[in-house]
Amino acid sequence: MATIDEQPERTLQSRLRFTREMMAGPIYRKYEKAMRKFWDPGEFDYEADARDFQELTPEQQRGIVMITVRFLGGEQEVTDETLPMIYAAHALGKFDWTMFLSSFMMEEARHSQFFAMWHERVVGAVDVDELSEYWIEREKTVDPTGRYQTGEPVYEGLPYFGHQLIDACHAGDLAAVEEGFVRFSTLYNIWVEGVLTMPSYEIVIDTCDIWGKLGTLRHGFKQIVADEGRHITFGTAACRQLIEKRPELEQVVHDAINLYRGNAIGMLEYQRFVPELDLQKYQLQKVRHYKNRCRELNITPDQTLIDDILDPDLDFVIGIEAG
Ligand SMILES: [Fe+2]
Ligand SMILES: [Fe+2]
């Protein structure tokens, strides 16, 4: 490897990264918006939620914590897996992406903080041995029709594709960085944040409304959804740029989604715990979000995926071992 003295001289363009065009662009403006929309979980009042929680039945307590514990883990994982996108933005010389992703990573950390504080102060459980009884392993889910399996896109897919993306950055192979970014961002921003998680936010907010309780949890979710909207539209805007440059990358999007297709087709386990919830509403939401993501990406939606999400014969429950 060349010594530090042998490094090429830096151009002025590589030092002064801001341009008028970048500052007027959609991704830099998302960064500006994130700066304006600051919120702090440390300022929330958790006392009323703690009282509400004590008034819930044991089934209701278990039902809600089965949802929130998945968010507590998921937010930590996505905080830790923001790095490959930042590294790719650096490798591709896209400083507006780096600026935005700095706010993105901080926001995922903030979501982690919110769930940690809520569990500690409301449930009285935050360490792993206190929460393990609420954890459902989705890897075990089997579709009784035998057509689908579900997996762990967050815990298994993101670290795997994140490593691949980092390797491409290290190798300096920019075509592989572009392709790896599309694969990673599809799984992260488009599929996990943009389709799979969206109904879960609604389920929590609807549950709080039905029970007339847990106002701080509801408020926290509302704040998080606003942050997630920027994360999703960053992913679709960034991938769209790359697909416009290299149309063959559209297939990378479909392939990444198909890896975890079963996760959208099954229902979520915790829907069972609130019998008042309208289950079909959340399947329709997944379809609406999927179509919106495809429109933002300017790609063609996979109609067979939409048909399967809405197929009443495919109604296995994620987290439940069939048979
Ligand atoms: Fe988040
Ligand atoms: Fe996010």
Distance 37 CA to ligand 1 centre (A): 15
For 317, phi and psi rounded to 5 degrees? -105, 120
Query: 58 CA to middle of ligand 2, Å?
Result: 31
Residue 300: burial class (beta carbons within 10 Å; 0-12, 13-18, 19+):
exposed
DSSP string, 222-282: HHHHHHHHHHHHHHHHHHHHHHHH-GGGHHHHHHHHHHTTHHHHSEEGGGGG-TTS-HHHH
**Cα of 39 from ligand 2 centre, angstroms:** 15
The neighbouring-strand residues paired with 268 are: 318
**Segment 171-215, tens digit of pLDDT:** 999 999 999 999 999 999 999 999 999 988 988 999 999 999 999
**CA 2 / ligand 2 centre spacing (Å):** 39
CA of 194, nearest ligand number: 2
Domain positions in the chain are 24-32+44-318
- Confidence label for 277 from pLDDT (cuts 50, 70 and 90): confident
pTM to 2 decimal places: 0.94
Distance 126 CA to ligand 2 centre (A): 21
The ligand placed nearest to the CA atom of residue 229 is: 2
> How far does residue 231's CA lie from ligand 1's centre (Å)?
8
pLDDT value, residue 51: 98
CB 33 within 8 A of CB 230: yes
- pLDDT, residue 321, reads 40
Confidence of residue 141 (pLDDT cuts 50, 70, 90): low
Of the candidates 187, 174, 198, 178, the residue with the CA atom closest to the CA atom of residue 253? 187
Q: What percent of the chain has pLDDT over 90?
A: 77
Model pLDDT for residues 226-239, shown as the tens digit of each residue: 999 999 999 999 99
CATH architecture group of domain 24-32+44-318: Orthogonal Bundle (1.10)
Q: Give the Å distance between the CA of 16 and the centre of ligand 2.
A: 29
